Structure 1
Amino acid sequence: MSIVLYSLCCYLVGSFMTAAVVGKLSGVSLAAEHSGNLGARNAGRTLGKMAFVWTAAGDVLKGVAVVLAARALGLADTVAAVGLTCALLGHLYPVWWRFRGGKGVATLLGGLLALEPVLLLGALLVMALGYLVTKSLTLGFVGSVLVLAIVIVAFYPAYFILLLVLAGILWKHRTNIQQRWR
């Protein structure tokens, strides 16, 4: 399988919006509710805790699936990072939803779980510390993304491509970040 075909398949996996399915099963279009975001947070805000859990679980599985697919195909971890990047781009900007998707947190966490669990553990630790200091999950997550970017540059250059989607994830969170700084 060519890397281009693998990457395209990863984008398509990423563009499967779990929140849209969870919303449809509940008779609600989450794209028209609250933030209009097709992610776990909006699903939870609109439909409750179980909608959050199901949406987050589905989005985590997308990240895990693309990395495990690369490994099953015998592709290098660098290529798996490309696949995860494509899946995250699909989640952030799904073609089926006029490029309006989720914010990528759960898919990133799932991808890191499969790709490099140490990075996931570090990101979660920084996020928890950030939350303790700021009392804001958004700001804790922003801190973890920034530290994750630094760690990738310094110690995991094979995953450099992930910096693209880390920037995209921060961009998608810009409104939340602005609200927290006020």
Structure 2
Amino acid sequence: MMVVYYLFGSYLLGTIMTAWLVGKWYGQSLQQQFSGNLGARNAGRVFGKKAFILTAVGDGLKGVIVVVIGRYIGYENTIITWAVFCVLLGHLYPFWLSFKGGKGVATIVGALITLNTLYFSAFIISFIVATYLLRSATFGLCVALILYSAVVIFAGVLPATLICSIVLILWKHRQNIKERLI
């Protein structure tokens, strides 16, 4: 029963939208600005660098928190990666905002850092190289997530639920990917 509380609590944690709180702080709704997305990129575009950093850190901490709590309780990686999936679902689809949240980048990055620092290093290097070569941080991120998934699958160290989380983020970025390829 504790696992159910952990997973449900992870979803609820994900629904705490840092960008929404930052928007309230500035007296505006980010859902009405530019992309309408409740993520760090939109917060930065509307309110500046400080809002970007606050939102990215706040959203990243959601991923860190579910992994740290899972490890503290003693859950195996399969359960923890299910919690990562749940926190992402909460961030992407918060029930209290008509299921319209962010795109999950900072949240998955926080989780990846905490899950395995070595593999996260590979993610960062591939992100930097892909961003430089492709001249797009969003597209570089997508490439880095795909490469990270390949490494994790090849190494066989993290459960498939983590791959599901990455696929979910790529799905949320499908319009960005389509625009970049056209």
Q: TM-score over 0.5 for the alignment? A: yes
Is this contact kept in 1: 2:84–2:165, CA < 8 A? no
**Runs of 4 or more consecutive aligned structure 1 residues displaced over 6 Å after TM superposition:** none
Match of 2:66 in 1: 66
Q: Where does the alignment leave 5 or more consecutive residues of structure 1 unmatched?
A: none
Q: How many residues in Structure 1 have an aligned counterpart in Structure 2?
A: 182
Look up the match of 2:92.
92
The alpha-carbon deviation at position 157 of structure 1 amounts to 4.8
Q: CA RMSD of the aligned region, Å?
A: 1.2
Counterpart-to-counterpart distance in 2, 1:96 and 1:153: 35
1:142 aligned onto 2:147? no
TM-fit CA distance, 1:77? 2.1
The 3-state SS of whatever aligns with 1:36 is: coil
SS at match of 2:101: coil
Q: Is the 8 A contact 2:85 2:164 kept in 1?
A: yes
1:131, CA displacement in angstroms? 1.2
Percent of aligned positions that are identical: 42
| Aligned positions of 1:6-21 closer than 5 A | 6-21=6-21
Give the equivalent residue in structure 2 for 1:44: 44
Deviation at 1:2, TM superposition (A): 1.9
Q: Which residue pairs with 1:108 in the alignment? A: 108
Q: CA deviation at 1:52?
A: 0.3
Q: Distance in 1 between matches of 2:156 and 2:33?
A: 39
Q: Deviations over 1:111-166 (max 9, x none)?
A: 01111112211111111110121111111111111111212222135321012121
Answer yes or no: is 1:120 the counterpart of 2:120: yes
TM-score, normalised on structure 2? 0.95
CA distance in 2 between counterparts of 1:32 and 1:64 reads 29
